[in-house]
Amino acid sequence: MKNAFLRWWGCGAFDVILGDTNFAFDPYLFGQNLEQIEPCYDYIFVSHEHFDHCHPKTLQKLCQGERFKTLFVSPGCINPTLPIDERYGDAAFARDLPVTKYVSPEKVEVLYPKYLQDDGQWYRKFPGPFELNLGSLHVETIESGENQTPDLPTCGYLVTHREKNISFLHIGDLHQSYPALQELRGKVDFFIHMKLGLTEWQGSNLTDRLVEIVDLVRPKYFIPTHYRTDRIADPIPEGHWPPNVTDTCAFIESIREAIGQQTQILPFTAGVEYEVTMPDKKILWKWNWQNSWTVPPWGEG
């Protein structure tokens, strides 16, 4: 398979189909999507233990079969802060954690972040691994963010297919930039972005942080995810985190305005699979030449 296929599944879920190796970040499916998906990934990377990133029902379905090899997780997915229901509120449940209740422990491996938010000031020493070679894939970890504690960090993942020369950075629920991210500069083709485009969140303006992180990493492409729209087609149920943006086009344009021209924005629609031509890494935007009628309404009566 020459070309690559990318899909934002809704929430923070994103998958990459390269043919010889397929992988997913934070897969979170339900309803028809969960019923219909077959195990098709070699590796799955989970950023943290919150239910919309570490989802037992989805992982149970995907972490099996001949192709599947390893589920990589942050340490909190195995050793969550206790007592779980009290410490995480609605974000994680004693029912769901540790994830090894649902996925066989031999198939699960904990990774620790290589690039840390604190810049060495907290004198943290994690046991690793921080970096992996998985056949043609190379994986490096970064510290992600959202309710992490100094001793229980969360992980973002930079996954590079060396022969195909294509790379993906999934940052988990990272809300802020930090200097060590500059180490990723020049290494990232597709930056799968979470919440930093929100103009207002818990009283903070996240646009400045968005500009900072894009300037540190300088990815080739930037894919906004982890928002929902009011489109019924979105594979994110109503009444559910994340919140709606009122206008997707305006949201995308506000990100474009903030980050400038150096990085190109790819405004993916959740649930749609996009083809990337190789080796030039361009998205193939296609018209959908399918009639939505049997008899054209303008031809009736």
Please, what is the minimum distance in Å from the beta carbon of residue 229 to Fe ion? 16
Q: Report the half-sphere exposure of 93 (CA within 13 A, side-chain side).
A: 9
Binding mask of the shown chain, residues 127 to 146, with x at each position contacting Fe ion by CB under 5 A = --------------------
Binding mask 23-62 for Fe ion (x = CB under 5 A): -----------------------------x----------
Residue 252: which H helix or E strand, with range? helix 248-259
Cβ 60 to Fe ion shortest distance, Å: 20
Q: Specify the residue, 49 or 140, whose C-beta has the smaller distance to Fe ion.
A: 49
**E strands in 162-255:** 166-170, 190-193, 221-224
Residue nearest to Fe ion (CB): 173
Minimum distance, C-beta of residue 298 to Fe ion, in the bound complex (Å): 45
Compute how many residues bind Fe ion; rule: CB under 5 A: 2
Complex with Fe ion: residue 13 or 184, whichever CB lies closer: 13
**E strands in the chain:** 4-10, 13-17, 22-25, 43-45, 70-73, 108-110, 131-134, 137-143, 155-161, 166-170, 190-193, 221-224, 264-265, 273-277, 282-284
Q: Which is nearer to Fe ion, 42 or 52 (CB)?
A: 52
Counting other chains too, the contacts that 85-88 makes at CB distance below 8 Å and 24 or more residues apart are 88/49, 88/50, 88/147
Residue 173 interacts with Fe ion (CB under 5 A)?
yes
- Of residues 116, 113, 117, 168, the one with CA closest to residue 138: 168
| Nearest to Fe ion of 91, 211 (CB atom) | 91
- Give the residue with the Cβ less far from Fe ion, 42 or 173: 173
Contact call for residue 15 and Fe ion (CB under 5 A): no
Contacting positions for Fe ion (CB under 5 A)? 52, 173
